[in-house]
């Protein structure tokens, strides 16, 4: 029986959440970081984007850069308005100073007003300047309230601190082969009741057209009580596997993707967290075996987990 005919006879996963029309898909189904490989269009950017989720999920460096940039720019804008109204309406700024010095003092007055520090060295006089400083103080209070909420949301968000191996491997298993994927918790969190689901997505020809088919891959162990060390997901490639009899050449010439879904309970947050990733067939190493990530400590009292060995493997040759 040919590989294509054998795959067509397997039970497909109809609950994958992905469409079957291969011609409508571009690239991979899921990015390496677990996000869907989808770009949404047809609606205005402000309506299709949740700015709260965007600020919560972005990297720390980008989040801090946006906060500092907003702080600098908003004070610069108010300083320009103060200067346009007239420096003489800011009591405490020397009229004999240079333009740059006067503008600098207006900028720092804006910063003091925005943060509601109010040292008192400079004070507004006149209706326009006083109204502007009152409005700036209100905007400052609201801005800091939003920033505080974002900080709290970022620190309190339940997150699955799991790292996946960069590659999936086809390794020896029992008297045959198996697809192996490794993951590890990399922070001081305690995960329990971890469950894994692995799905194979393939673009195959059916009735003269390309369609997407999805198959559940049975795992040697799809649930563990505690996720403290590394966990290698093992899919035995036997007669019931859609990868049965696949050679290295088949992996190289076939468009396929392995989707990995992990759910586990974080006892610190008392909440279930999830992590996702995917491996295209080009990211599967045929004929390799993961190196052991942990060993006993020298005094024999602890187990040492080497996080830097997550992606390390040895190449082998199948007999």
pLDDT digits (tens, 9 = 90+) for 185-224: 998 888 999 999 999 988 777 777 778 888 999 999 999 9
Structural domain ending residue among the three candidates 130, 156, 182: 156
Residue 91 and residue 221 in one domain: no
**pLDDT > 60? residue 3:** no
- Asked whether residue 66 falls in the same domain as residue 198, the answer is no
CATH number, domain at 225? 2.60.40.1400
If asked whether residues 90 and 236 sit together in one domain, one would say no
pLDDT number for residue 1:
45
User: Crossing angle of helices 60-85/127-156, nearest 10°?
Assistant: 180
Given a cut of 80, whether residue 46 has pLDDT beyond it is no
For residue 160, pLDDT over 80 is answered with yes
Q: Each residue of 161-189: pLDDT tens digit?
A: 999 999 999 999 988 899 999 999 998 88
The separation between the first and the last C-alpha atoms of the chain, rounded to the nearest angstrom, is 23
Residue 38 phi/psi, 5-degree rounding, is -135, 135
Q: Are 184 and 309 in contact (CB under 8 A)?
A: no
In angstroms, the CA 12 to CA 17 distance is 13
When comparing pLDDT for 235 and 317, which is higher? 235
| Angle separating helix axes 60-85 and 99-114, nearest 10 degrees | 120
Q: Domain end: 94, 126, 156, which one? A: 156
Of 97, 127, 156, the last residue of a domain is: 156
Please indicate, yes or no, whether the overall pTM of this predicted structure exceeds 0.95.
Answer: no
Contacts 24+ apart (CB under 8 A), 164-168: 164/260, 164/275, 164/277, 165/290, 165/310, 165/311, 166/283, 166/311, 167/279, 167/283, 167/284, 167/285, 167/288, 167/311, 167/313, 168/258, 168/279, 168/283, 168/284, 168/285
Residues 6+ apart with CB under 8 A from 75: 107, 110, 111, 114
Mean confidence (pLDDT) of the chain: 88
Please provide the size of the chain in residues.
319
- CATH number of the domain encompassing residue 63: 1.10.287.70
Residue pair 30/276 in contact by the 8 Å Cβ criterion: yes
In the block, tokens 């490639």 appear at 237
* Between 207 and 149, residue with greater pLDDT: 149
pLDDT for the residue numbered 253:
85
Instruction: Please report where in the chains the tokens 């992996």 appear, as a residue.
Output: 251
Percentage above 70 pLDDT, the chain: 93
Taking the C-alpha atoms of residue 89 and residue 123, their distance in angstroms, rounded to an integer, is 8
Pairing of strands 313-315, 223-227: unpaired
The answer to whether residues 244 and 129 belong to one domain is: no
Instruction: Check whether residue 147 and residue 209 sit in a common domain.
Output: no
Residues 138 and 173 in one domain: no
Is there a single domain that holds both residue 308 and residue 165?
yes
Q: Which of 167, 168, 160 is nearest to 184 (CA)?
A: 160
Instruction: Count CA atoms closer than 13 A to 96's CA, side-chain side.
Output: 0
Q: Are 137 and 279 in the same domain?
A: no
- Rounded to an integer, the average pLDDT of 123-150 is 94
**Residue 230 predicted with pLDDT over 50:** yes
Question: How confident is the model at residue 172, as a pLDDT?
Answer: 93
Which residue segment(s) compose the domain that 310 sits in?
3-13+20-38+159-315
3-class SS at 118? coil
pLDDT at 32 over 90: no
Rounded Cα distance between 115 and 161, Å, is 35
Higher-confidence position of 28 and 311: 311
Separation CA 137–CA 130 (nearest Å): 11
More confident residue, 39 or 283: 283
Per-residue pLDDT tens over the stretch 74-109: 999 999 999 999 988 888 887 777 889 899 999 999
């Amino acid at each position: 029986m040919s590989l294509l005919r054998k795959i067509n006879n397997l039970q497909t996963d109809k609950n994958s959440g992905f469409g079957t029309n291969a011609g409508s898909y571009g690239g991979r189904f899921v990015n390496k970081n677990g996000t869907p490989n989808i770009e949404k269009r047809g609606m205005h950017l402000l309506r299709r984007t949740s700015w709260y989720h965007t600020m919560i999920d972005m990297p720390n460096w980008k989040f801090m850069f946006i906060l500092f940039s907003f702080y600098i720019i908003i004070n610069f804008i108010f300083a320009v308005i103060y200067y346009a109204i007239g420096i003489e309406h800011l009591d405490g700024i020397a009229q004999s100073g240079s333009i740059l010095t006067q503008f600098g003092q207006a900028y720092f007055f804006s910063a003091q007003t925005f943060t509601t520090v109010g040292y008192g060295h400079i004070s507004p006089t006149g209706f326009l300047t006083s109204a502007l400083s009152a409005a700036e103080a209100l905007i400052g209070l609201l801005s800091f309230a939003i920033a505080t909420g974002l900080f709290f949301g970022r620190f309190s968000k339940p997150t699955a601190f799991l790292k996946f191996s960069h590659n999936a491997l086809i390794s020896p298993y029992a008297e045959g082969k198996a697809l192996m994927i490794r993951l590890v918790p990399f922070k001081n969190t305690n995960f329990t009741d971890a469950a894994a689901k692995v799905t194979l997505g393939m673009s195959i020809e059916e009735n003269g057209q390309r369609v997407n088919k999805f198959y559940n891959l049975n795992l040697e162990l799809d649930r563990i009580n505690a996720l403290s060390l590394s966990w290698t997901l093992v899919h035995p490639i036997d007669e019931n596997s859609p990868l049965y009899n696949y050679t290295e050449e088949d992996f190289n010439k076939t468009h396929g993707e392995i989707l990995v879904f992990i759910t586990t309970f974080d006892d610190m947050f008392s909440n279930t967290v999830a992590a996702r990733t995917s491996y295209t067939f080009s990211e599967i190493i045929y004929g390799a075996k993961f190196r052991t990530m942990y060993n006993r400590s020298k005094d024999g009292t602890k187990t040492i987990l080497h996080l830097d060995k997550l992606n390390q493997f040895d190449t082998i040759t199948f007999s």
